[in-house]
Structures are given as structure tokens and as C-alpha cells.
Amino acid sequence: MFGRTVRCFYDRNLLLESSSCSLASFDLVEEKKVDEDQTKSGAEVLAALDRISAICSLVASIDTVRNEDQVTLITTLRKEHQLAAEIQHDLLEQCGLLDVERFTIELPKNDKSLLQHYIGTRDTIRRESHRLSMLHRHNMLHELLEQSAKSFLSIHPTRLTEIKHVEDTIATIRRFVKKYQSNIGSHSFLAGLRRIIELQSNPKSLECNKNGIIHNLPGIIRWNFFGFVLTEACGSCLHDKDDELAYARGATTVLYSVLVRVEKQDVESGEPINQDKQISDELSDGLMLAFEIDKYISNANLRRILSVLPDQKSLDSRATGKLETLYDPGRPRKNINGELDEAWPWFAELKLCNLL
């Protein structure tokens, strides 16, 4: 009973729930109520275990050095446990946590003691729930990325060279910034997006890579960052109480409106990737994503997009991830000076100005 109750608690608190669930039906409302009751029961059980663990630790230390403060603290903890036992008698009895004396008979330092068995069970369940949570986030993020890519291509099959496309992109980013800039969890993402556009929109005629080799053509900036940047801020915004995935969905939409995702592949060996090992590595280190500037975006359009992003001084975090410049003769940047861009009317810039 202890293991089942604790598992319900950790699964409920660590797993990021899908926001697509509707609570319109009575059955789902009842199911949500049951989940909340189970979460509350799990919290009560874990609190009881923490009290018992503290009591056992104090009792063991008193055997060595008697301290009146410790005696007082033990008395206080016992009273708190007794009060909790009166309220949650059946629950604590079923989980074996009703009687503190069961645990104080054996020394806590004994690895085979009853207390250590309970603590070991709790830790094992918590690790497993955390692993499942990471797997859930991993799958959820992959699904969101695929949905955003398909949605973007269906709406804007052409590149960022048409006026309407640029205006739609600017509107998308402006809405995202307005909604989430007040949430500090978005600042590292916004700073990274600003940084990659800044670097790409200010190319040099001659550039050197880390080996000192001079390139006549400007490179393409790539942004590598962990996927949890897009998921950890989910649910923390007051606007998204009814949609925990709103932030991640909005962030991926912003990414695809400006950048191109680089798929992970084993280029050097040419051998197929071991999917199980790849997922295992990504779960331990975090899903690594790579996006780069589309080679057809002109510097003028990049500056237009940059104008709606917050300045670094207004952000409380630095850019997340790592930026690198790639020099590939087979796919150099094109349309740098806007040769392929649709001609903008003279009043177009007024439409993009931010009102002060």
C-alpha cells in the first residue's frame, strides 16, 4: 500500500499531463477528483515518513550525546505525528506508518532496518517516476516539433522572402513575447533567439573559424540547445492554467517561423543510429535540438524580425545553448542582400514599428 500510494503521488507530480484532455465529461471530472485525492494521500504518507525519519535520527543521536533541544524536538514531532494519525488513521495504518515505535526499535544506521527499507522503496519509485517523466517530455516534445513543422509548411510553403510571410512571422513572435516575457522561464529562450538573429544579420566579409581559416563567404549560424528549455516553463504561466503545453507549442511555432531544424544523424560513420541508445542518452543528458538560420532569409528581414524581440537588457537570463558558425561550400547563404525578396512599399516599415 505504501509503494502504490507513493507511486501515485510521484506520477501525478512529475509527469507533465497532456493539455489535450478535456474535462467536459462527468467521468473525466470524477477521474480528476480521484487523482487529486490520491495526490493528497501520497503527500500525507511522505510527510509521515519524513517525520518518522527525523525522529529516528534524533533518537539515535541522543544515545550518543543528550541534548535538551533534541528531546524537545522529538516530543514536538511525536505530537505532530499523533495528530496526523488521528486524521489519517486508516491511510497511515495501511501503509505501516501509524506506529513510530516500529521504526525506533532498530537503529536507523542499520541498512537492513525497517526505516531504510521504506526510504529505499520511496527513492526507487521516485527515480522511476522521474525517468518516465523524462520519457514523457521526450515524446511530447518530438510530437510538438513534428506538429509545428507540418503546420508551418502548410501555411507558409514558401520561404521568408514574401512580405505576407515576414509580417505573419513578426506577428507570431510579437504575440509570443507579449504573452510570455513576464515569465522569467522564457528569458533564456528569447535571449538565444535574439542572439542567433543578431549574429546572422551582421555578417563579416571575411570570417575565421576556430582553426583560424579565413572564409570569403559568411557562414550560417546554428543554435544547439536542450529541449527542456521548451518544456520546463510549461504550466508556469498564469495565462496557461488550462493548457500546460501552450508555452512549448508557442515556442516551437516561433522557432519554425524563423529557423530550420537540423535533424540528428550519424554522418561520419554512415551507420544507422541505435534508437534505444539514442533515447537513453537523450533522457540522461536532455534532448539536444539544433536549429539554424534559413539560408534564404535576407539580412533586412532578419533585422525586421529582430525589432520585435526584447533587448538583452530587459531579460534576466543569458542565451541558452551554444551558437556556432558553419561554413559549407555546398550550401552557402543566399539572398543575403534581399535579391529574392518581394519589394516592400515605402510605408511597410511603419506597420512594423512598435508603439511606445
Within-domain flag for 99: yes
Looking at the fold, whether 264 and 164 belong to one and the same domain comes out as yes
Element (H, E) at 66: none
Strands (E), the chain: 207-208, 214-215, 220-226, 259-261, 288-293, 322-326
DSSP 8-state assignment for residue 331: S
Task: Give the lowest-confidence range in 10-24, 98-112, 198-212, 311-325.
Answer: 10-24
pLDDT band at 331 (very low <50, low <70, confident <90, very high): confident
| Neighbouring C-beta atoms of residue 208, cutoff 10 Å | 11
CA-based nearest residue to 280, from 130, 125, 131: 131
Asked if residue 151 has pLDDT above 90, the reply is no
* Mean pLDDT, rounded, for 147-174: 79
Which residues are 323's β-sheet partners? 223
Q: According to the model, what pLDDT value does residue 282 have?
A: 45
Per residue in 83-95, pLDDT (tens digit) is 888 888 888 888 8
The answer to whether residues 340 and 300 touch, using CB atoms and an 8 Å cutoff, is no
Q: Identify residue 1 by its one-letter amino acid code.
A: M
Per the model's pLDDT, the better-predicted residue between 277 and 28 turns out to be: 277
Asked if residue 272 has pLDDT above 60, the reply is no
Three-state DSSP state, 69: helix
Domain count across the chain? 2
Looking at the fold, whether 298 and 341 belong to one and the same domain comes out as yes
Q: According to the model, what pLDDT value does residue 17 have?
A: 46
Asked if residue 298 has pLDDT above 80, the reply is yes
Per residue in 115-130, pLDDT (tens digit) is 888 888 888 888 888 7
* Mean pLDDT, rounded, for 334-346: 84
Per residue in 188-225, pLDDT (tens digit) is 999 999 999 999 988 654 455 555 555 555 688 999 99
Looking at the fold, whether 278 and 219 belong to one and the same domain comes out as yes
Looking at the fold, whether 110 and 254 belong to one and the same domain comes out as no
Looking at the fold, whether 39 and 185 belong to one and the same domain comes out as no
Within-domain flag for 151: no
> Which domain-ending residue is among 129, 148, 169?
129
Q: According to the model, what pLDDT value does residue 30 have?
A: 41
Asked if residue 254 has pLDDT above 70, the reply is yes
Looking at the fold, whether 56 and 168 belong to one and the same domain comes out as no
What strand order describes the sheet that includes 259-261?
A: 259-261, 288-293, 220-226, 322-326
* Mean pLDDT, rounded, for 327-356: 72
CA-based nearest residue to 98, from 83, 111, 116: 83
* Dihedral sign from CA coordinates of 255, 170, 191, 334: positive
Looking at the fold, whether 160 and 125 belong to one and the same domain comes out as no
Angle at 244 between CA 250 and CA 260, to 5 degrees: 25
| Neighbouring C-beta atoms of residue 267, cutoff 10 Å | 6
* Mean pLDDT, rounded, for 29-48: 69
Structural domain span for residue 332: 156-352
Give the highest mean pLDDT range of 74-88, 140-154, 179-193.
Answer: 179-193
Looking at the fold, whether 202 and 109 belong to one and the same domain comes out as no
CA-based nearest residue to 337, from 300, 295, 293, 294: 300
What are the backbone dihedrals phi and psi of residue 221, each rounded to the nearest 5 degrees, phi first?
-80, 130
Q: Identify residue 65 by its one-letter amino acid code.
A: V
CA-based nearest residue to 312, from 198, 178, 149: 198
Looking at the fold, whether 117 and 191 belong to one and the same domain comes out as no
C-alpha distances out from residue 240 to 19, 245, 247, 290, Å = 10, 8, 8, 27
Per the model's pLDDT, the better-predicted residue between 328 and 350 turns out to be: 328
| Residue 22 buriedness (CB in 10 A; 0-12 / 13-18 / 19+) | exposed
351 Cβ contact list (under 8 Å, min separation 6):
167
Within-domain flag for 66: yes
> Where does residue 77 fall: left (phi above 0), alpha (psi -120 to 50 degrees), or beta otherwise?
alpha
Within-domain flag for 201: yes
The answer to whether residues 342 and 298 touch, using CB atoms and an 8 Å cutoff, is no
Q: How many residues can be counted in the chain?
A: 356
> Where does residue 107 fall: left (phi above 0), alpha (psi -120 to 50 degrees), or beta otherwise?
beta
Asked if residue 355 has pLDDT above 60, the reply is no
Per the model's pLDDT, the better-predicted residue between 15 and 185 turns out to be: 185
* Mean pLDDT, rounded, for 91-120: 77
pLDDT band at 274 (very low <50, low <70, confident <90, very high): very low
Within-domain flag for 306: yes
Q: What value does the mean pLDDT of the chain take?
A: 75
Within-domain flag for 77: yes
* Mean pLDDT, rounded, for 323-341: 82
Map grid coordinates 515605402 to a residue: 346
Within-domain flag for 315: yes
| Residue 182 buriedness (CB in 10 A; 0-12 / 13-18 / 19+) | exposed
Within-domain flag for 174: yes
The answer to whether residues 329 and 295 touch, using CB atoms and an 8 Å cutoff, is no
